[in-house]
């Protein structure tokens, strides 16, 4: 089987408008930093995932292309700039994500909470998702983010249990990620929770199914399963490309395990079709 996946992108005026607003307010997006394959499709529909807390990560996961090193202190003006950009873009659904900030006493949880509260106050009716790091497994920090008025709490398990020590930073952990997702539901049983698995890193299908059961076991509502695409030669290589029928089989299995929404596709990413997933998880109703 060929170990290639071709992606065709078409620039659009709307994508250029989104880029212009982001530059105007000096904001980062994970769309750019993580070299997301859906960037032009999402920007073309007038949506973006905002990357807060800078663009430099304190961890060194082997699948990720985000810059590593010593980050700058958080910018206290960032929450306000994000709120202004969201208003200007007319977004109804906002996703916030970040690099991991092990250098900060609270891992950046307070900055997340301030941004969420400001968005809720200044953009009435906006739905806010936070795709967070693990906050070193500290449940009180997870709770502080959820209790800020969050609609969707997302944290990615990334890969199967066996590959976690090889693929993720040593400070991350498979069970730690499960605890984080469980803690979000404990903090607010009404919050929607979401997680994502990358395939093609060397896992078996049985291991993927085990991870799906584990995520279901901690109450995750939305599951995203996507093909690992090597961002640059510095990251671990792709072991194999999954066929569409394999993604379809994974989706059927996950739905049987009780997830409210499953997106299993080669180019899916955690924030892809986020509003659609949210509505499905809420039974078609907004919170």
Which of these ranges, 12-16, 144-148, 174-178, 276-280, has the smallest mean pLDDT? Answer: 12-16
* Residue-wise pLDDT tens digits, 126-185: 999 999 999 999 999 999 999 999 999 999 999 999 999 999 999 999 999 999 999 999
Whether 32 shows a pLDDT value over 60: the answer reads no
**Is the pLDDT higher at 146 or at 8?**
146
pLDDT score of 11: 56
CB 132 within 8 A of CB 155: yes
Whether 116 shows a pLDDT value over 90: the answer reads yes
Percent of the chain with pLDDT over 90: 72
Q: How far apart are CA 121 and CA 28, in angstroms?
A: 22
Whether 109 shows a pLDDT value over 90: the answer reads yes
pLDDT score of 29: 57
pLDDT score of 21: 76
Whether 107 shows a pLDDT value over 70: the answer reads yes
Q: Structure pTM?
A: 0.89
Whether 14 shows a pLDDT value over 50: the answer reads yes
Bridging pattern class, strands 261-264 and 192-199: unpaired
Whether 35 shows a pLDDT value over 50: the answer reads no
CA dihedral 125, 127, 133, 135 (to 10 degrees): 40
Q: How far apart are CA 104 and CA 72, in angstroms?
A: 11
Residue 25's pLDDT band (cuts 50, 70, 90): confident
Residue 164 has φ and ψ, to the nearest 5°, of: -55, -50
* Residue-wise pLDDT tens digits, 85-103: 999 988 888 999 999 999 9
List the Cα angle 222/225/231 in 5-degree steps: 130
Whether 55 shows a pLDDT value over 90: the answer reads no
Residue 287's pLDDT band (cuts 50, 70, 90): very low
What domains appear along the chain, each with residue ranges and CATH number? Answer: 13-281 (3.20.20.70)
CB 167 within 8 A of CB 236: yes
* Residue-wise pLDDT tens digits, 177-223: 999 999 999 999 999 999 999 999 999 999 999 999 999 999 999 99
Q: How far apart are CA 137 and CA 125, in angstroms?
A: 31
Q: How far apart are CA 132 and CA 232, in angstroms?
A: 23
pLDDT score of 92: 85
Give the chain's end-to-end CA distance (angstroms, integer).
45
CA dihedral 262, 263, 266, 272 (to 10 degrees): -150
Q: For the chain, what is the mean pLDDT? A: 88
Residue pointed to by tokens 């996950």: 254
């Amino acid at each position: 089987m060929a170990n290639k996946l071709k992606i065709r992108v078409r620039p659009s005026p709307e994508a250029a408008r989104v880029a212009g607003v982001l530059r105007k307010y000096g904001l980062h997006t994970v769309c750019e930093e993580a070299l997301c394959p859906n960037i032009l499709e999402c920007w073309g529909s007038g949506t973006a995932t905002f990357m807060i807390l800078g663009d430099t990560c304190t961890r060194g996961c082997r699948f990720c292309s985000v810059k590593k090193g010593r980050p700058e202190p958080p910018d206290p003006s960032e929450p306000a700039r994000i709120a202004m950009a969201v208003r200007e873009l007319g977004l109804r659904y906002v996703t916030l994500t970040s690099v991991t900030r092990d250098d900060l006493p609270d891992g950046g949880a307070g900055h997340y909470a301030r941004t969420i509260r400001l968005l809720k106050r200044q953009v009435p009716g906006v739905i806010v998702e936070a795709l967070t790091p693990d906050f070193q497994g500290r449940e009180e920090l997870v709770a502080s983010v959820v209790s800020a008025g969050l609609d969707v709490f997302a944290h990615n398990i990334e890969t199967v249990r066996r590959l976690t020590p090889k693929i993720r930073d040593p400070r991350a952990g498979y069970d730690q990620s499960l605890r984080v997702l469980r803690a979000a539901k404990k903090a607010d049983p009404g919050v929607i929770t979401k997680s994502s698995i990358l395939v093609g890193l060397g896992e078996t299908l049985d291991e993927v199914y085990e991870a799906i059961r584990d995520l279901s076991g901690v109450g995750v509502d939305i599951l995203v399963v996507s093909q690992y695409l090597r961002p640059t030669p510095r990251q671990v290589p792709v072991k194999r490309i999954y066929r569409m029928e394999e993604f379809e089989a994974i989706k059927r299995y996950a739905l049987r395990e009780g997830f409210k929404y499953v997106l299993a596709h080669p180019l899916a990413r955690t924030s892809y079709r986020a509003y659609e997933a949210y509505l499905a998880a809420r039974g078609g109703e907004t919170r």
